[in-house]
Amino acid sequence: MDAMCLALEEARAAAARGEVPVGAVVLAPDGTVLARAGNRTEADHDAAAHAELLAMREAAQRLGTPRLAGCDLVVTLEPCPMCAAAAALFRIRRLIFGAYDPKGGGVEHGPRIFDAATCLHRPEIVGGVREREAAALLRAFFATLRGP
């Protein structure tokens, strides 16, 4: 099963828990899964409990290092500015994301964290992977919140 498929599974599980459906996976340099997570902001009462941060923290713990050099981050939604900055600090090699986020994104939209002169590390970026599927999960989730 590919990493985006795993991230989408995490997003679906997050939605089932009442969380915004975002999922993330961190891959080791050899492609093995180091960590996977879905959003837990509501469950943890933590505005920073985004899937990306949770997965990167778990991967760093598993590797015993604050840097994830050579590792890839796969996430179903374009990371927000906070998560993009964290990916730079964790030294992620490649960021792969699904749906674009014109309102809250921090990679291709908004502050474009990796383009800032103060950004110390810029990962390779691949956007739009299984974009329709990832976006459909988010639309369906928010439609149920708004009601008929």
Which of the residues are catalytic? 52
Q: How far is CA 126 from CA 17, 48, 54, 68, in A?
A: 28, 23, 21, 18
Q: Please state the φ and ψ torsions of residue 128, each to the nearest 5 degrees.
A: 85, 15
The identity of residue 76, as a single letter, is: T
User: In this structure, what DSSP letter does residue 75 have?
Assistant: E
User: In this structure, what DSSP letter does residue 114 have?
Assistant: G
